[in-house]
Amino acid sequence: MKMFGEKFSPAQLLILFAALLCLLPLGTAQAAPGSCNARYEVVVTQVNGMPMNQVIQFGAFQSQGRGRGQLDANISAKQNAEQCMQSHWNGRMNGTAPYQCTDQRRISGYTVQNVESTLQQEVCQSLGPRACDRGQSNIQYSIFAVVDGGPGCGTRMSPAARTLLASGAITQCECRGGHRPDRRPMPAPQQVSPTQSTVFYHIPRRTLLTWQPVERAESYLVEIKYNGGVWNTLSAAGDATFVSFDFPGPGQGEWRVIPQSRRGREGTPSPWSGFSYQR
């Protein structure tokens, strides 16, 4: 110590001591800022009730943070990312991104403005066209907030940390390429009897009209004319391809059949076919 003092004057020793005091906190001060990457991760578990296991990622941002003491510099960044993702998921219906979280912990580069619509879009596009016959397929999924990046962003067992946000959630995707309603017009029914220009003489004038079934037809309308004017309209439901009625008197009659779909849409009418009663 004596040799140390002989090489430096008291003033120099005082300056050297102050410099040492300034350097000592560097071992315990906050570490340099770190960053962690965060995103949503969807695990699709069912499609229309059928099991599936498909992972879909979307919505990325980077969270900045500082470590304290001997902790890794990314610890606070990890907490920022996890808490921001969870708070945004909980408040997702308002469509606002958490550009700033509690305690002034900031995140940057956020790419999801509306989680609900983005989630549905990402899921449906990733799964591709689904074949179904009711216009939509039901997708069941779980969603996680995933954080990874440098050391401290994941867990001891994994390079990524996952926080479950929802389990058993459901969204819907439009069907493509599956069964689609046939938009072609239904063809005209083929009339069977009475044939064109049939003449009847019997009384009472009980008349039976019959025709061939039409594909996709759920019912039929039958229009009947008497002496040039529409006299009656009858209906045949289901698989029935006939109607019977009492014609009003001697004279000229005509009839035609119109097929109808399940929703009441009319197909192509048959041509008018004539018959007559002589008495």
What are the pLDDT digits (tens) for 54-72? 888 877 666 766 543 334 5
Residue intervals in the chain for CATH 2.60.40.10: 191-277
Tell me the pLDDT of the chain (279 aa) as tens digits: 445 445 556 666 555 555 554 444 433 333 345 677 888 888 998 887 788 888 888 776 667 665 433 345 556 777 777 777 777 777 776 655 555 454 444 555 555 566 777 777 878 887 776 555 456 778 889 988 888 877 778 888 888 888 898 888 888 887 665 445 556 788 999 999 999 999 999 999 999 999 999 988 889 999 999 999 989 999 988 778 999 999 999 999 999 999 988 777 888 999 999 999 999
Identify the sign of the CA torsion 58, 59, 62, 65. negative
| Closest C-alpha to 89, from 54, 55, 41 | 41
CATH number of 191-277: 2.60.40.10
Backbone φ, ψ for residue 18 (5° rounding): -65, -40
What is residue 131's three-state secondary structure? Answer: coil
Predicted local confidence at residue 168, as pLDDT: 84
